């Protein structure tokens, strides 16, 4: 069976219930949590398996439906992964089930996708692997990955408005990396001028994990005072995101959160690393709010340069032991760094903060261990 949900848990289950699940399922959700067991949310399949002792042979993969109205899956990650049920000889279309290795879900199918991606691929330019970022993402969603994947952009300016969903096979040690082929961030620009709230991003990470952006320029709406101009939008739970050696160009003359460079609001994010980047203009450089009852962990914002934000350089809320070290923030309209509801081993060290109304603002910090704050 395939459980799919958007913006919420795929299913709720209680120990001892008559319908406790212990078969082979595909359990997939684009949210901060995969499921809820005994009224406790579980972030991924491993956590559900550990708590319940069930679904030991299940998978969690994007189902790759044919379309929004044709829910036949074409995902190779669901092919031949189920177990035989003697009383079920055919599928929803009346076609015979494989007698030894049936597919997960209501349909028995033969996937046509090539092998999972691994290695280096190019985007744009002459004879690329993919003409656009959207084409690369679509192929990765279908095929998944078996090792680290590098999507290298050829030199140029690309109009991009892409959404990244969870990619099967990716792990912290097998990330999906978007970078410039030249290694020079000035040679590749990913740009989008948002004009409405539902399209307010250059790239949206919609529950996508294990993604890196490096050696790129990312630019939002460049019209001074524009209403919308988010660049990287994190939603529905994002883990192991790394952004390094990039240049961000935001909307001039704005102090709105709608014009932040990296933005999450009421979205769980863990192991987020933002390092060695430059952020220019926009309302905020980095604006991250996790969930009030589950604090984000592993946030590191280090050695970045922020210039000319209309309101603030860095704003963090609901964070466990964040690290905000070695940043230079100049000319923000209101606040350099603002930390709210940050717990435990908070680090805020060796900043260079100037031309600011308030350099550092701390609110509701709760710690039973250590707190390191120095400018």
pLDDT digits (tens, 9 = 90+) for 307-316: 999 999 999 9
Tokens 């509701």 sit on residue: 364
Average pLDDT over residues 231-238: 93
| Average pLDDT, rounded, for the chain | 87
Burial environment of residue 105 by CB neighbours within 10 A (0 to 12, 13 to 18, 19 or more): buried
Tens digit of each residue's pLDDT (9 = 90 or more) over 70-107: 888 888 888 888 888 888 888 888 988 888 888 888 88
C-alpha span between 270 and 266 (Å, rounded)? 13
> What kind of fold does domain 117-373 have according to CATH?
Pectate Lyase C-like (2.160.20)
Helix (H) or strand (E) holding 137: helix 133-143
Tokens 């409405």 sit on residue: 196
Average pLDDT over residues 124-131: 98
C-alpha span between 232 and 213 (Å, rounded)? 10
Is pLDDT above 60 for 198? yes
The proportion of the chain whose per-residue pLDDT surpasses 70, expressed as a percent, equals 87
Residue 176 has, within 13 A of its CA and on its CB side, a CA count of: 25
SS3 140: helix
C-alpha span between 352 and 343 (Å, rounded)? 23
DSSP string, 227-241: S---SEEEES-EES-
Q: Identify whether the C-beta of residue 346 lies closer than 8 Å to the C-beta of residue 367.
A: yes
Domain spans in the chain, listed from the N-terminal domain onward: 2-52, 117-373
Which of 227, 249, 243, 229 is CA-nearest to residue 175? 243
C-alpha span between 144 and 158 (Å, rounded)? 24
Tokens 């679509």 sit on residue: 138
Which of 84, 38, 37, 31 is CA-nearest to residue 57? 84
Helix (H) or strand (E) holding 133: helix 133-143
- Sequence-separated (6 or more) residues with CB below 8 Å from residue 237: 30, 31, 32, 33, 43, 207, 267, 268, 269
C-alpha span between 271 and 322 (Å, rounded)? 10
State the CB neighbour count (10 A cutoff) for residue 191.
Answer: 18
Please give the structure tokens belonging to residue 331.
């000319």
C-alpha span between 234 and 312 (Å, rounded)? 19
| Residue 187 banded pLDDT, cuts 50, 70, 90 | very high
Q: How far is CA 322 from CA 122, 172, 268, in A?
A: 35, 19, 14
Average pLDDT over residues 242-264: 97
Tens digit of each residue's pLDDT (9 = 90 or more) over 29-79: 765 567 777 777 777 777 788 888 888 888 887 888 888 888 888 888 888
C-alpha span between 335 and 70 (Å, rounded)? 50
Is pLDDT above 70 for 17? no
C-alpha span between 304 and 325 (Å, rounded)? 9
Helix (H) or strand (E) holding 204: strand 203-206
C-alpha span between 36 and 43 (Å, rounded)? 9
User: Greater confidence, 248 or 64?
Assistant: 248
Structure letter (DSSP) for residue 258? G
Average pLDDT over residues 172-197: 98
- Sequence-separated (6 or more) residues with CB below 8 Å from residue 294: 32, 41, 268, 318
Please give the structure tokens belonging to residue 200.
């307010």
């Amino acid at each position: 069976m395939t459980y799919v949900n958007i913006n919420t848990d795929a299913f709720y289950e209680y120990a001892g219930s008559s319908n406790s699940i212990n078969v082979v399922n595909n359990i997939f959700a684009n949210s901060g949590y995969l499921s809820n067991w005994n009224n406790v949310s579980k972030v991924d399949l491993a956590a559900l398996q550990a708590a319940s002792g069930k679904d030991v042979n299940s998978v969690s993969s994007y189902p790759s439906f044919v379309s929004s109205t044709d829910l036949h899956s074409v995902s190779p990650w669901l092919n031949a992964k189920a177990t035989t049920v003697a009383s079920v000889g055919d599928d929803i279309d009346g076609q015979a089930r494989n007698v030894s290795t049936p597919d997960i879900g209501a349909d028995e199918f033969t996937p046509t996708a090539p092998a999972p991606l691994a290695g280096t691929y190019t985007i744009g330019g002459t004879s690329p692997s993919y003409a656009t970022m959207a084409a690369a993402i679509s192929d990765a969603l279908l095929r998944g990955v078996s090792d680290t994947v590098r999507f290298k952009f050829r030199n140029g300016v690309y109009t991009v408005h892409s959404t990244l969903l969870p990619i099967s096979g990716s792990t912290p040690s097998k990330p999906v990396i978007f970078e410039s082929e030249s290694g020079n961030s000035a040679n590749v620009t990913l740009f989008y001028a948002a004009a409405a709230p539902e399209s307010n991003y250059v790239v949206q990470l919609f529950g996508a994990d294990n993604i890196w952006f490096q050696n790129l320029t990312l630019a939002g709406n460049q019209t001074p005072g524009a209403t919308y101009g988010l660049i990287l939008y994190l939603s529905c739970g994002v883990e192991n995101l790394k952004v390094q050696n990039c240049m961000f160009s935001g909307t001039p003359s704005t102090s709105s959160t709608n014009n932040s460079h990296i933005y999450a609001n009421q979205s769980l994010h863990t192991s987020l690393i933002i390092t060695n980047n430059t952020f220019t203009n926009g309302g905020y450089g980095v604006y991250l709010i996790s969930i009030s009852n589950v604090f984000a962990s592993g946030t590191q914002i280090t050695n970045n340069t922020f210039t000319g934000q209309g309101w603030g350089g860095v704003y963090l809320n609901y964070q466990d032991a964040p690290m905000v070290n070695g940043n230079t923030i100049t000319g923000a309209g209101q606040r350099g760094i603002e930390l709210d509801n940050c717990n435990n081993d908070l680090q805020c060290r060796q900043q260079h903060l100037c031309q600011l109304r308030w350099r550092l603002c701390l609110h509701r910090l709760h710690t039973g261990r250590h707190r390191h704050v120095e400018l």
